[in-house]
């Protein structure tokens, strides 16, 4: 039974889930309200707080600690701690709120549904931008990379919802429609790293379900092949797709130079890196290549290189601990429990990490708040799924 304080948390975080894809500012206000309600809830219920799966929290704690060490070793402790609190405390609040104050499957599912509505509204606007304005669609705000990150999180989840009828039920057809709509939006978004990440993860999902004899997976593969053939005449898509393997393409060459610079930072500061929040200054004033044509870049366009450069081997180990848990431990839970929500945790994390091979999406505030919201909802749902399966087996 929900109390007033966690009902308020649930209401505020639900509005945050819906509105964040239209307005970051309003979304942040709602997250602030949800956070305030959450702290009130913690004070009133501190003796009743429990962690639903300690392995995830342990991985997060290890990662946050290694980032904290990097903040202390940054040479500017004040700035380092400010960056740490923003990157690895504020952006994690949706996860903490949902898993510690909500915990009920019905509420978690409602939050997740509203977030899917939000990303779909954003997807519709991306399609409008692509069709009418003929631009690289960015949505309601920011850079196209932001919505690309969103699609990496949500499209794998929608695919599993579509293929698992025991999740979507009579709304299965709607999940299929949302897949098509958001896939078209991703095409107009023209973010190559997200294309590769989503395509790779969706292919793995379809292969698994095809091997299980799922007819919808076979149909999905046929539809995807037909979709790919139908957009072969869309010139901006083909041009961007062809640039992926173009060694002379500016974006590609610049990324390689950035990665070399990031690795040089790591070689000079192997233990704790140049310090949390110090990448930009070090890159622009000390480590930038003389061949670079984009001198104002502020990150390494790669999660792994960013972690090595800014946080050294300590932070890199913490980062690996985090992604290993959310990808491989979630997959292990899926295999052991036949838990579709655990599989969703795995594939949404995997897609974001794969996109992070060419983009520092872990440094994107909007994307990471969305990621942690989704992971929190899925953890609650997967835990309740496991309990319901155990109860069903006991009844048998």
What's the pLDDT tens digit per position in 68-94?
Answer: 999 998 888 999 999 999 999 999 999
Global confidence as pTM: 0.95
- Quote the pLDDT of residue 169: 80
Give tens-digit pLDDT for 100-129: 998 889 999 999 999 999 999 999 999 999
Is residue 267 included in any domain, yes or no?
no
Distance CA 308, CA 181 (A): 37
Is residue 324 included in any domain, yes or no?
yes
Is residue 269 included in any domain, yes or no?
no
> Under a CB-based contact definition with an 8 Å cutoff, are residues 115 and 374 in contact?
yes
Is residue 312 included in any domain, yes or no?
yes
At residue 393 the predicted structure's pLDDT band, cuts being 50, 70 and 90, is low
Question: Which of 31-45, 94-108, 233-247, 315-329 has maximum average pLDDT?
Answer: 315-329
Is residue 285 included in any domain, yes or no?
no
Give tens-digit pLDDT for 287-324: 999 999 988 899 999 999 999 999 999 999 999 999 99
- Quote the pLDDT of residue 133: 85
Give tens-digit pLDDT for 335-351: 999 999 999 999 999 99
At residue 1 the predicted structure's pLDDT band, cuts being 50, 70 and 90, is very low
Distance CA 372, CA 368 (A): 6
- Quote the pLDDT of residue 360: 97
As to burial, measured by CB atoms within 10 angstroms (0-12 exposed, 13-18 middle, 19+ buried), residue 391 is exposed
How many domains, in total, are found in the chain?
1
Q: How crowded is the C-beta side of 360, counted as CA atoms within 13 Å? A: 22
Is residue 124 included in any domain, yes or no?
yes
> Under a CB-based contact definition with an 8 Å cutoff, are residues 351 and 316 in contact?
no
Least confidently predicted of 149-153, 292-296, 357-361 = 292-296
Is residue 141 included in any domain, yes or no?
yes
User: What rounded mean pLDDT belongs to the chain?
Assistant: 93
- Quote the pLDDT of residue 246: 86
Distance CA 161, CA 172 (A): 7
Is residue 393 included in any domain, yes or no?
no
Residues of 222-239 as b/e, b for ≥16 C-beta within 10 angstroms?
Answer: eebeeeeeeeeeeeebee
Q: How many angstroms separate the Cα of 149 from the Cα of each of 58, 170, 236, 255, 367?
A: 25, 29, 20, 18, 6
Q: Give the residue numbers spanning the domain of 67.
A: 4-248+296-388
């Amino acid at each position: 039974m929900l109390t007033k304080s966690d009902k308020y948390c649930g209401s505020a975080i639900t509005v945050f889930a819906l509105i964040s894809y239209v307005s970051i500012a309003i979304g942040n206000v709602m997250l602030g309200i949800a956070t305030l309600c959450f702290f009130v809830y913690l004070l009133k219920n501190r003796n009743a707080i429990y962690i639903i799966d300690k392995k995830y929290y342990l991985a997060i704690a290890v990662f946050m600690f290694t980032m904290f060490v990097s903040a202390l070793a940054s040479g500017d402790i004040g700035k380092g701690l400010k960056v740490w609190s923003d990157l690895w405390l504020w952006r994690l609040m949706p996860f903490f709120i949902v898993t510690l104050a909500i915990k009920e499957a019905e509420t978690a599912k409602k939050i997740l549904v509203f977030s899917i509505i939000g990303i779909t509204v954003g997807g519709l606007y991306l399609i409008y931008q692509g069709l009418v304005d003929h631009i690289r669609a960015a949505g309601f705000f920011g850079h196209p990379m932001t919505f690309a990150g969103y699609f990496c999180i949500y499209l794998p989840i929608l695919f599993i919802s579509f293929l698992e009828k025991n999740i979507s039920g009579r709304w299965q057809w709607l999940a299929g429609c949302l897949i098509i709509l958001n896939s078209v939006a991703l095409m107009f978004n023209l973010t190559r790293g997200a294309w590769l990440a989503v395509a790779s993860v969706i292919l793995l999902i379809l292969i698994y379900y095809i091997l299980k004899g799922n007819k919808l997976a076979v149909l999905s593969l046929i539809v995807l092949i037909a979709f790919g053939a139908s957009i072969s005449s869309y010139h901006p898509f083909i041009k961007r797709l062809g640039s992926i393997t173009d060694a002379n393409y500016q974006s590609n060459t610049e990324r390689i130079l950035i990665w070399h610079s990031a690795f040089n930072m790591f070689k000079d500061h192997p233990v704790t890196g140049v310090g949390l929040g110090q990448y930009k200054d070090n890159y622009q004033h000390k480590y930038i290549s003389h061949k670079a044509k984009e001198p104002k870049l502020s990150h390494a366009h790669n999660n792994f290189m960013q972690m090595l450069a800014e946080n050294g081997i300590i932070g890199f180990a913490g980062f690996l601990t985090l992604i290993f848990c959310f990808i491989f431990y979630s997959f292990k839970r899926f295999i052991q429990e036949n838990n579709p929500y655990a599989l969703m945790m795995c594939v949404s994390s995997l897609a974001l990490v794969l996109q992070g091979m060419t983009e520092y999406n872990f440094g994107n505030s909007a994307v990471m708040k969305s990621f942690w919201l989704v992971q929190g909802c899925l953890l609650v749902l997967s835990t309740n799924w496991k309990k319901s399966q155990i109860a069903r087996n006991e009844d048998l």
